[in-house]
């Protein structure tokens, strides 16, 4: 199962204008501007926070079991990226205010988070205190279990970083770490001339741009929760045989054209042989439900307009089975409303044998998520 949580707030912290707030910018930036002499004249970092209330409840009551968490930021045309580099995420160590400024405001807005201040100029509190990594440009916790890393090439685009260790610490009631969100940055710090510390080195590494929570596109930041939720109980059903699987069709029972956001939906998927054998029976052969292969039947979800993969084929998108047939559950709370989504299927048979085959079914199964 994949569950998506949209960001509560985000902003970019710009070194070049220490008190500037950019809370309402539509773009988040990891910048590094280098002068002709090799001096870093502007660096920037991203802060982004998610409400974990619903995730915490679901983990506590066992609905979500042994999850992994991924921070997703979506490409907004980065410029001049170096051949390879890395970005890092850390837990922010102080509360901060998003603010309602924009990087191009004149005069600049100085209330809300900035390079110097987590709350703004009037409050006057600076980032950092004794037990945390602190410098202008935010404060964060570092060390083992407090870091996510994602390696990029100049051809990389979207950002999907595993932040499981950090989120688990936030959700652990015995851990003192408080959820103030993520700090996303390059390695090192401004002024650090270590050649292995990207942020402060003299190397020109290009600028990352990602859509913010204020974007007018379908690509705001998300926290993706991923876990294994497949269940398997066939009751009195019979399996599709290897012969059936060689020439089969997939259809869906009760697929509706629209579902409201926040709905929790059980989608029924049925596989059958394309040409059922004629027999003398009280039930037509094409109505006899048989079950798909266990552990090797998957679903995928795409945006019907952009063809972007929302949920890919993996062990977290395995199809389940009960006495009525195959199914999978979706929580539509994290899906963009007023958009259409397409369901696709991958059925693997003969796993780990010379006769192993994969069949893909894209039959136009589409639904809309409505407000």
Q: Tens digit of pLDDT for each residue in 74-124?
A: 999 888 788 888 999 999 999 999 999 999 999 999 999 999 999 999 999
pLDDT for 143: 87
Report which of residues 80 and 289 the model is more confident about.
289
Cα–Cα distance for residue pair 321/317, rounded to 1 Å: 13
- Position 4 pLDDT exceeds 60: yes
Torsion of the alpha carbons at 104, 108, 112 and 113, rounded to the nearest 10: 70
Average confidence (pLDDT) over 5-12: 97
pLDDT for 156: 64
Cα–Cα distance for residue pair 315/186, rounded to 1 Å: 32
Cα–Cα distance for residue pair 89/70, rounded to 1 Å: 11
- In percent, the amount of the chain with pLDDT more than 70 equals 91
Report which of residues 37 and 304 the model is more confident about.
304
Kind of pairing between the strands at 40-49 and 32-34: antiparallel
Cα–Cα distance for residue pair 57/77, rounded to 1 Å: 37
Q: Looking up tokens 């409505």, which residue turns up? A: 370
Cα–Cα distance for residue pair 310/72, rounded to 1 Å: 11
pLDDT for 281: 53
- In percent, the amount of the chain with pLDDT more than 90 equals 71
Give start and end residues of each alpha helix (H) in the chain: 53-60, 164-171, 242-246
Q: Is 207 exposed, middle or buried (0-12, 13-18, 19+ CB in 10 A)?
A: middle
CB atoms within 10 A of CB 138: 27
> Could you please report the per-residue DSSP string of 51-112?
--HHHHHHHHTTSS-S-EEEEEE-B---BS--SEEEEEEEEB-S-----S--TT-SSPP-BS
- Domains defined along the chain, listed by start: 2-226 (no CATH), 238-370 (2.60.40)
Instruction: Choose among 158, 159, 133: nearest CA to 146.
Output: 133
Q: What is the pLDDT of residues 260-273, one digit of tens each?
A: 999 999 999 999 88
DSSP classification of residue 286: G
Cα–Cα distance for residue pair 31/13, rounded to 1 Å: 10
Q: What is the pLDDT of residues 192-220, one digit of tens each?
A: 555 567 887 878 888 899 999 999 999 99
107 preceded by a cis bond (ω within 30 of 0): yes
Range 12-43 burial, b when 16+ CB lie within 10 A, else e: bbbbebebbbbbbbeebbbbbebeeeeebebb
pLDDT band at 355 (very low <50, low <70, confident <90, very high): low
pTM: 0.92
Cα–Cα distance for residue pair 149/138, rounded to 1 Å: 18
């Amino acid at each position: 199962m994949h569950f998506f949580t949209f960001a509560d707030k985000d902003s970019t912290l710009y070194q070049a204008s220490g008190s500037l707030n950019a809370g309402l910018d539509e773009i988040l930036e990891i910048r590094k501007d280098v002068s002709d002499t090799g001096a870093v004249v502007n660096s920037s970092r991203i802060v982004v926070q998610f409400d974990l209330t619903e995730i915490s409840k679901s983990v506590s009551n066992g609905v979500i079991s042994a999850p992994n968490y991924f921070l997703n930021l979506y490409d907004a045309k980065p410029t001049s990226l170096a051949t390879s580099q890395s970005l890092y995420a850390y837990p922010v160590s102080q509360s901060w205010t998003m603010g309602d400024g924009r990087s191009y405001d004149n005069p600049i807005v100085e209330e809300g988070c900035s390079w110097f201040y987590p709350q703004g100029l009037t409050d006057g509190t600076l980032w950092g205190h004794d037990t945390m990594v602190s410098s202008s440009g935010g404060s964060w916790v570092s060390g083992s279990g407090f870091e996510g890393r994602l390696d990029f090439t100049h051809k990389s685009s979207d950002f999907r970083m595993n932040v499981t260790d950090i989120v688990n610490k936030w959700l652990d009631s015995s851990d003192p770490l408080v959820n103030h969100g993520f700090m996303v940055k390059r390695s090192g710090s401004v002024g650090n001339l270590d050649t292995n510390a990207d942020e402060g080195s003299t190397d020109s590494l290009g600028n990352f741009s990602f859509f913010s929570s204020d974007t007018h596109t379908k690509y705001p930041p998300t926290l993706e929760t991923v876990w294994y939720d497949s269940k398997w109980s066939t009751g009195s059903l019979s399996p599709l045989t290897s012969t059936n699987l060689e020439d089969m069709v997939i259809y869906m029972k009760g697929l509706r054209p629209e579902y409201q956001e926040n709905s929790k939906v059980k989608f029924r998927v049925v596989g059958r042989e394309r040409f059922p054998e004629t027999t003398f029976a009280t039930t037509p052969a094409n109505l006899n439900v048989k079950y798909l292969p266990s552990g090797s039947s998957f679903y995928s979800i795409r945006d019907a307009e952009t063809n972007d993969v929302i949920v890919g084929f993996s062990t977290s998108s395995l199809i389940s089975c009960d006495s009525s047939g195959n199914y999978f559950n979706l929580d539509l709370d994290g899906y963009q409303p007023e958009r259409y989504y397409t369901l696709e299927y991958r059925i693997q048979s003969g796993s780990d044998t010379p006769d192993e085959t994969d069949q893909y079914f894209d039959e136009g199964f589409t639904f809309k998520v409505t407000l």
